Amino acid sequence: MSFQLPKITLNKDQQQKIFLSFLLLCFVIYGYFEFLLKPLQVSVGRAKTESASLEKKIAEANVRLRGLGDLKTKAAAASGLIAQAQAFIPDGAPVAWYPPRVKGFFTRQGFPKDSVSVVNKGNDSSGDREFDKKFVISNWQMQIPNADFFTLAIALTGLENEEVMTEITSLTIAMRENPELVSCTFEVHSILKAQ
């Protein structure tokens, strides 16, 4: 059993219509690929490039956020240190309480009462605005005219250890007529509350 296709005869007008339909189909296929698919592929490539750059920016932002978290942790620790520093420093004008405090310290170390003179030499700025709002670095000059060298050395070491907000910045020791005694002049920086 064989199947035969019917013979189709097309006139000239029908042949032109088929040819024009074929041309229209080719133009539609070309237009689809050239005007629809190609811009779509270009925009997909551009979107991939932009997303890659955005991923880099997101990674950088995440690093910054972690840094901010570290900064918040450091700020909390710094606040704790400031609270500790404020706990060490009494309220009131430093001229009123600092010299008696230092003189009392040296008296406890075995020096005669009123053998230590304490003079305020002014204040310095640290350069850190937040620090300067709450604290001031005060300069003091102290003099002990007659002291045993070893007792003096132990007392000066104890001064920096017990008075944690105090730092000896310069020290001058001179021999006296009596070889067992020395004269000592030293300068101290002390962190105090800003008034």
The model's pLDDT over 75-102, given as tens digits with 9 standing for 90+, comes to: 887 777 677 666 666 666 666 777 888 8
Q: 73 pLDDT band (50/70/90 cuts)?
A: confident
Within 13 Å, how many C-alpha atoms sit on residue 49's CB side? 6
Instruction: Copy the structure tokens of residue 113.
Output: 């009462």
Contacts of 122 (CB under 8 A, 6+ apart): 138, 139
Cβ-based neighbour number of residue 193 at 10 Å = 16
Query: What local confidence, expressed as pLDDT, does residue 26 receive?
Result: 93
Give the integer Cα–Cα distance in Å for 191 and 88: 10
Tokens 């001031």 appear where? 136
Helix ranges (DSSP H) in 12-117: 12-31, 38-88, 94-108
172-184: b or e for each residue (b if 16 or more CB lie within 10 Å)? eeeeeeeeeebeb
CATH superfamily of this structure's domain 94-193: Ribosomal protein S6/Translation elongation factor EF1B (3.30.70.60)
pTM of this prediction exceeds 0.85: no
153-171: b or e for each residue (b if 16 or more CB lie within 10 Å)? eebbeebeeebebbeeeee
The model's pLDDT over 133-176, given as tens digits with 9 standing for 90+, comes to: 677 788 889 999 888 888 888 999 898 888 777 888 888 888 87
CB contact at 8 A, 183 and 144: yes
Give the integer Cα–Cα distance in Å for 135 and 167: 15
Q: What kind and span of H or E run contains 134?
A: helix 129-134
Higher pLDDT, 177 or 51: 51
Contacts of 137 (CB under 8 A, 6+ apart): 123, 124, 125, 126, 189, 190, 191, 192
From the centroid of its chain, how far is CA 20? 75
Cβ-based neighbour number of residue 185 at 10 Å = 15
